[in-house]
Amino acid sequence: MNNINIFFKTYFLTVGLFFCFSVLAHAQIGKITGRVISAESGNPLEGVNAGLSGTTMGTATNKEGLFTIDHIPEGRYTIIISSIGYKQEERKITIESGDILSLDIRLKKTISALDEVIVTGLSESEELELTAKAVDAVELADTKFKTTDLGDVMAQTKGVNVRRSGGLGSSSRFSLNGLTDDQIRFFLDGVPLEFSGYSFGISNVPVNLIKRVEIYKGVVPIRFGTDALGGAVNLVAPKEHKGIHGSVSYQTGSFGTNRAAANINYLNKDTGFFFNGSGFYDYAKNDYKIDVEIPDQSGKLEDATVKRFHDSYTGYGTNLKLGVQDKSWTNKFSVKAYIADYDKDIQHNNVMSVPYGEVTSGKKSYGIAIHYDKVINRNLSLKLKNGYSYDIRSFADTSRYIYNWHGEPVRDSNGNIRERGTPGELGKAADQVFWDRNYYNRLNINYQLDTQHEIHLSSAPTYVRRTGNERWQEEFETVDPLNDVRTVFNWVNGIEHSWSSADGKIENDFFIKGYMQNIKAEEQTNGAPINRNRSFRTIGFGNNIRYTFNKQWLVKASYEWATRLPKTEELFGNGSLVRPNLSLEPEKSHNANLAFNYRTPDTESLTWNIKLNGFLRSTDRLIVLLSDRDVYRYQNVFSAVSTGIEVSGSIKTRNNRFQLKGNTTWQSFRNQSTKGQFGRFKGDRIPNRPYFFANLMAQYKIPQPFTESDRIKLFLSNRYVHEFYRGWESVGLKRFKDTIPSQFTQNLGATYDFPIESATASFTAEVQNITNADTYDFFGIQKPGRAFYLKITTQF
């Protein structure tokens, strides 16, 4: 209860401060009006973006080329006027209380008569990568037309590997510079992904609903208010624009795959009212063929090829966001509600040696989120994000039969279905449900000391309350340990000082983070329950620095002494095979990066860039799931060091018709433990993790193949993963030292898009794994072979 009180006191205090500052700031505002015309024709330009750099204040011109930005606090600003096909215009302005500035802007075209639109300047992703932060940003403008999913998109980024236990909807392992799973944190617009309606995995988030992916490597900005051992991934959703905009897509293809996604945005610039609605539906049978061993009548194992028979996946979700912007009391305020559901059949164990015929899992999520942004004055701005989610997780394994790889219940010699003595295909019957109630708060305060110094503050309390029920045990009236109420309260705070030199060549960010975790729970014993309450506090710190030699060259380095707090599942187990471990300690890591970037001038007809990053992750007290006879438990077991180098590059013509991108990653993630059960494996690579992989992607655009407004895009992607050990390298037994073979796959596709009045339609056909190569993951689990997909997308 004390944790709840602390949380809500913090919440109401921060909200109260926001509105107090808002009232004080009402009188210190000004206004900008302007008109944008074409420098060549003198005609007004509609839809041109006008915004104040470093703020959320901005708008777009109307049919007369006019725009207005009001409620601007006193101060000095840079107004940026930009539009596709025109050179960007920037002007320095000063706003004083009550001022109304009037601007006339003339934009020059950058369109060649023979080429497609040529855009000068940097995209948002490129600007982010040029900061001191250790980040890679991936734009999804072209990707949303393809049939690939978000997991495959991120796997094409250097340093990233996304592995799966099957097809669509299967569990996935996201690896970043060697660190995996919960050691990486995931967000949607700065909000933890599990509180955003996509709590069943980042790989299954529809690409059509995301604008950009930001991958922070090892060093995580304090604005996310999170603990993380190896980095963070932030998904950025499209922003609202004037009028009604949106998209609808539908995809179908091999293995019974059907995916649909839709979103709609509306913004009224006069009133500031906006709404955003989106939804998705996924279904897949995942009945692709796999190679297995099946016993013959004498019990001898023989090789066989069969279809997966119990691996279907269904997922759907919807959310609605309402809000207002550009008001005297707020720059942006919104309320969002969402519902999501996920159901998955489980086909086999984690090494694909035993098939299951009735084991299932699922999750339902309901949530609400409130966001509030306010620029108090030219120096001070505030952002508040808070919300609540209610999650229901389920797991069922109550079958009285065991199944073979043909999907048949095992029969005896007389042909009769044989009942098992004990229900449960995994060995022990279970019909579990968990209820998680989650509360979160993200407060960010930015204060501009002067043109070169800025202070950032963040505070992020999170509270989780879990209880559950083993419905199978209710039949036998036994004690149910899942009924216990268990809570976790995490609070991560941070302060950062940002400095940039007067000429802008040097940028430095130094930050300190504070971590707190309070756990309340009971542990079931043979006697009376024992209270296992525990508290933990620690600090961390880090620094990012960047030096720009010129517009072509820059170097940057980053470091963080990082902490990851144990998660709910690791602390409390699942009440069945995974037992609780309330004595888990946080994982710690020294993370460092050294990066070099080079890009050719924009004036070249063929532009290219190359990025090189070397990294170090020295980790301690890593949390691993270990077995103890018939049960499992998460434990702090070993230390490890991951070192490596990643290189990426791209070449494109200035008219963007042809583009070639590639990257490669080599990493050495080795056990450094000298004691305990892993001490004898000191120096070995951590097993079951790829250490060398590469990607190569090419795209070519054919403008106006049939009409003056249509276009064809041809694309090809290649991926190589070098062989790696399933088990420890130094173990002599072949069955534990088997390697996952090297894998090389290719995807080929084409997109045809054309306008329909004010909308754009596209058709995409794609072949994945063209050569039908055998591909494996997770201790040798086989992934889908050759697959064919079609996708239709409409944007308006």
Q: Which of 84, 111, 138 is the last residue of a domain?
A: 111
Is 656 within the bounds of a domain?
Answer: yes
What was the pLDDT predicted at 120? Answer: 46
Q: Which two tokens stand for residue 333?
A: 């305020």
**How confident is the model over 147-188, as pLDDT tens digits?**
888 888 888 889 998 888 788 888 888 899 988 878 999 999
Q: How many residues would you count in the chain?
A: 796
Report for 55-59, 356-360, 472-476: range of highest mean pLDDT: 356-360
Query: At a CB cut-off of 8 Å and minimum separation 6, what does 285 contact?
Result: 255, 256, 257, 311, 312
User: Which of 515-519, 747-751, 757-761 bottoms out in mean pLDDT, i.e. has the lowest?
Assistant: 757-761
**How confident is the model over 699-734, as pLDDT tens digits?**
999 988 998 888 999 999 999 999 998 888 887 654
Is 376 within the bounds of a domain?
Answer: yes
Shared domain check, 666 and 534: yes
The Cα–Cα gap between 456 and 448 comes to 9
Mean pLDDT of 592-612: 87
Between 80 and 120, name the one with better pLDDT.
80
Is 411 within the bounds of a domain?
Answer: yes
The amino acid sitting at 723 is: E
Does the structure show a pLDDT above 90 at 130? no
Is 119 within the bounds of a domain?
Answer: no
Q: Which two tokens stand for residue 593?
A: 């990066």
What was the pLDDT predicted at 602? Answer: 65
Count of structural domains, the chain: 2
**What one-character-per-residue DSSP string does 532-556 give?**
--EEEEEEEEEEEEEEE-SSSEEEE
What was the pLDDT predicted at 26? Answer: 42
What was the pLDDT predicted at 525? Answer: 59
User: Which of 131-135, 321-325, 577-581, 602-606 bottoms out in mean pLDDT, i.e. has the lowest?
Assistant: 602-606
What was the pLDDT predicted at 523? Answer: 64
Phi, psi of 41 (to 5 degrees): -100, -20
Selection from 305, 736, 393 nearest residue 573 by Cα: 393
Three-state DSSP state, 221: coil
What was the pLDDT predicted at 362? Answer: 92
With beta carbons less than 8 A apart as the criterion, state whether 693 and 721 touch.
yes
Does the structure show a pLDDT above 70 at 2? no
Mode of pairing for the β-strands spanning 58-60 and 49-52: antiparallel
Q: Of all residues in the chain, what percent carry a pLDDT higher than 90?
A: 47
What was the pLDDT predicted at 15? Answer: 44
What was the pLDDT predicted at 575? Answer: 60
Mean pLDDT of 541-562: 94
Is 215 within the bounds of a domain?
Answer: no
Q: Which of 67, 94, 111 is the last residue of a domain?
A: 111
Q: What is the CATH number of the domain that holds 85?
A: 2.60.40.1120
Edge-to-edge strands of the sheet including 184-188?
Answer: 135-139, 212-217, 231-236, 184-188, 191-192
| Residue 525, number of CB atoms within 10 A of its CB | 8
Which pLDDT band, with edges at 50, 70 and 90, does 416 fall under? low
Does the structure show a pLDDT above 80 at 568? yes
With beta carbons less than 8 A apart as the criterion, state whether 476 and 467 touch.
no
Mean pLDDT of 666-684: 89
What was the pLDDT predicted at 478? Answer: 60
User: Which of 306-315, 495-504, 673-682 bottoms out in mean pLDDT, i.e. has the lowest?
Assistant: 673-682
What was the pLDDT predicted at 400? Answer: 84
What was the pLDDT predicted at 249? Answer: 95
Q: Which two tokens stand for residue 699?
A: 């795209």
Mean pLDDT taken over the chain:
85
**How confident is the model over 306-321, as pLDDT tens digits?**
999 999 999 999 999 9
What was the pLDDT predicted at 141? Answer: 82
What was the pLDDT predicted at 42? Answer: 73
With beta carbons less than 8 A apart as the criterion, state whether 556 and 545 touch.
yes
Beta pairing partners, 327? 330
Q: Which two tokens stand for residue 490?
A: 């995490």
Q: Which two tokens stand for residue 563?
A: 């902490």
Shared domain check, 245 and 105: no
Mean pLDDT of 94-111: 76
Q: Which two tokens stand for residue 585?
A: 């300690």
Does the structure show a pLDDT above 50 at 25? no
Q: What angle do CA 182, 186, 191 make, to 5 degrees?
A: 130
Q: Which of 111, 143, 164 is the last residue of a domain?
A: 111
Mean pLDDT of 73-87: 82
| Residue 92, number of CB atoms within 10 A of its CB | 9
Per residue, what are the HEC states of 150-171?
A: HHHHHHCCCCEEEEECCCCCCC
What was the pLDDT predicted at 663? Answer: 96
Is 466 within the bounds of a domain?
Answer: yes
Selection from 663, 718, 723 nearest residue 690 by Cα: 723
Does the structure show a pLDDT above 90 at 194? no
Mean pLDDT of 273-289: 94
Does the structure show a pLDDT above 90 at 424? no
| Residue 474, number of CB atoms within 10 A of its CB | 11
Query: At a CB cut-off of 8 Å and minimum separation 6, what does 306 contact?
Result: 289, 290, 292, 294, 405, 406
Is 288 within the bounds of a domain?
Answer: yes
The Cα–Cα gap between 194 and 186 comes to 8
| Residue 294, number of CB atoms within 10 A of its CB | 15
Does the structure show a pLDDT above 60 at 475? no
Q: CA 547, 495, 369, 27 torsion: positive or negative? A: negative
Mean pLDDT of 111-119: 39
The Cα–Cα gap between 98 and 66 comes to 20
Mean pLDDT of 591-602: 90
For the chain, the C-alpha Rg in angstroms (whole number) is 28
For the chain, count helices (H), then strands (E). Answer: 6, 46
Is 735 within the bounds of a domain?
Answer: yes
Beta pairing partners, 72? 30
What was the pLDDT predicted at 121? Answer: 52
Which DSSP state fits 421?
S
What was the pLDDT predicted at 243? Answer: 87
Report for 345-349, 508-512, 635-639: range of highest mean pLDDT: 508-512
Mean pLDDT of 641-666: 92
What was the pLDDT predicted at 768? Answer: 95
What was the pLDDT predicted at 479? Answer: 66
| Domain of residue 55, residue span | 1-111
The amino acid sitting at 372 is: Y
User: Which of 19-23, 27-31, 148-152 bottoms out in mean pLDDT, i.e. has the lowest?
Assistant: 19-23
Mean pLDDT of 652-662: 89
Mean pLDDT of 236-265: 91
**Burial class (CB within 10 angstroms; exposed 0-12, middle 13-18, buried 19+) of 604:** exposed
Does the structure show a pLDDT above 60 at 23? no
The amino acid sitting at 529 is: P
Which pLDDT band, with edges at 50, 70 and 90, does 524 fall under? low
Beta pairing partners, 613? 595, 646
Beta pairing partners, 85? none
Does the structure show a pLDDT above 90 at 242? no
What was the pLDDT predicted at 758? Answer: 79
**What one-character-per-residue DSSP string does 708-751 give?**
SS-EEEEEEEEEEE--EESS-TT---HHHHPEEPPEEEEEEEEE
What was the pLDDT predicted at 20? Answer: 47
Q: What is the CATH number of the domain that holds 776?
A: 2.40.170.20
What was the pLDDT predicted at 732? Answer: 60
What was the pLDDT predicted at 526? Answer: 59
Between 38 and 318, name the one with better pLDDT.
318
**What one-character-per-residue DSSP string does 293-334 give?**
EEE-TTS-EEEEEEE--S--EEEEEEEEEEEEEEETTEEEEE
Shared domain check, 243 and 106: no
**Burial class (CB within 10 angstroms; exposed 0-12, middle 13-18, buried 19+) of 405:** buried
The amino acid sitting at 560 is: E
Q: Of all residues in the chain, what percent carry a pLDDT higher than 70?
A: 88
Selection from 517, 526, 525, 515 nearest residue 571 by Cα: 517
What was the pLDDT predicted at 7? Answer: 45
Between 719 and 532, name the one with better pLDDT.
719
What was the pLDDT predicted at 52? Answer: 86
Three-state DSSP state, 527: coil
**How confident is the model over 428-463, as pLDDT tens digits?**
788 999 999 999 999 999 998 988 899 999 999 999
pTM attached to this predicted model: 0.83
Between 198 and 622, name the one with better pLDDT.
622
Phi, psi of 309 (to 5 degrees): -120, -10
Between 18 and 482, name the one with better pLDDT.
482
- Helix or strand run (H / E) with residue 594: strand 587-599
